[in-house]
A and B are shown apart, each in its own frame.
Chain A
Amino acid sequence: MTKNILESFVIIAISVAFAMILTWPKFQEFESQRSLVMGKQSDLETRNEYFKNLQQSSSELSNFGPNLAKIESALPDNPDVATLANYLEMSAMQGGLIIKAADYTADQATAAPAEGDGQKILKNFHIALTLSGPYESWKNFISSVEKSSRMIEIESTQISANPTKIQTGATAASQQATSDILNYVVKVKANSY
């Protein structure tokens, strides 16, 4: 009787072991596949959420059209140096300043296109102006430039008085007028993509 029970127990144990040996690799394969599917499912949900957020952001951005236009004007896609130079010239002339020289340079460090990720890279360029005119005109000029929608940065400025010119026959009034005229060298920076 006891022997029969022992034999049954051994047979059951062998059967269980056999069953495990047979199904274990399949179970492992199943688990591995399930893990892969869960990972991909998570990727899909993340991606869906990402595009949903992008769509939402795009809708929100479209509500700020006028403000975005101002930002686009401040940081345009094109440097449009000619328009900027024209603006600087007009601002200077309207204030009563004379432009003696203008020099444009692009930053070599950022001028090269580097759009590997499809995103635009901000580039800097500089315009150096040599101006001449009354101090009040100068103040009006820089005030106008600082408030420009193009977001122009005045990086440096040098102001110097005209060397005293004592000319034979020059009247006191003309000497006074000469001394009121100052020279300015201003370096401005603007940005574009």
Chain B
Amino acid sequence: MAVVGGFFALTYLTGKLQAQYNDINGQLTQQETSDQKTLESTVLNYKRRLDDFSEILNKHAALSRFFAAVEPIVYPTVSFDSMDLNSVDKTVTIIGKADTFESLAKQVTIFKNATAVFEKIDLSKVSLGPDGKINFSFKADIQPDAILFK
């Protein structure tokens, strides 16, 4: 008797669970309304935009800071003919002229001592020009912080 009762009880409960399952499944399907999809898309897009903005802002370069830092440390008898500055590679190539080898040596020393601006300086070319001036060219790695927007 108890076995028969248990059997029918289990059958009844299983049926009830099946109905409950169908009900929940229906709710899960119903939930994806267009309003909710719009809400989801809006919030996720804002999140994406905030993440992108934060990443870009943290890397935002301010080359004006580099110029402001270099101007005061240019030796008086040294002049630059060209400057290639790359904020992505964080490198600068400078081509210029110095009155004497001594001026050039002093300029290089000043730049090497400016560790807050330059990481590494490679003097790649030095030659005596027809005008008696020293032509030079060097490539330097810039300290990332020196061109970071603040």
Contact yes or no, A37 B21, CB < 8 A: yes
Contact yes or no, B14 A159, CB < 8 A: no
Contact yes or no, A54 B39, CB < 8 A: yes
**Bound form: Cα–Cα A26–B11 in Å:** 7
Q: Please count how many residues in chain B sit with their CB below 8 Å of the partner chain's CB atoms.
A: 50
Contact yes or no, A75 B24, CB < 8 A: no
Secondary structure call for the A interface: helix
Contact yes or no, A37 B3, CB < 8 A: no
Contact yes or no, B86 A47, CB < 8 A: no
What is the interface of chain A, defined by CB distance below 8 A to chain B? 15, 18-19, 22-23, 26-27, 29-30, 33-34, 36-37, 40-41, 43-44, 47-48, 51, 54-55, 57-58, 61, 68, 71-72, 74-75, 118-120, 122, 139, 142-143, 146, 151, 153-161, 191, 193
What is the interface of chain B, defined by CB distance below 8 A to chain A? 2-3, 6-7, 10-11, 13-14, 17-18, 20-21, 24-25, 27-28, 31, 36, 39-50, 52-53, 56-57, 60-64, 67, 80-88, 149
Contact yes or no, B87 A153, CB < 8 A: yes
Supply 9 A–B pairs (Cβ within 8 Å), ascending by A.
Answer: A44-B27, A51-B40, A55-B39, A58-B42, A71-B49, A74-B53, A146-B62, A153-B56, A161-B81
Contact yes or no, B63 A30, CB < 8 A: no
Known: A37-B21, A54-B39, A71-B53. A154 touches B63 (CB 8 A): yes
Contact yes or no, B14 A26, CB < 8 A: yes
**Bound form: Cα–Cα A120–B42 in Å:** 10
Nearest 4 Cβ contacts at the A-B interface: A19-B3, A160-B82, A33-B17, A26-B10
Q: Inside 8 A of A68's CB, which chain B residues have their CB?
A: 46
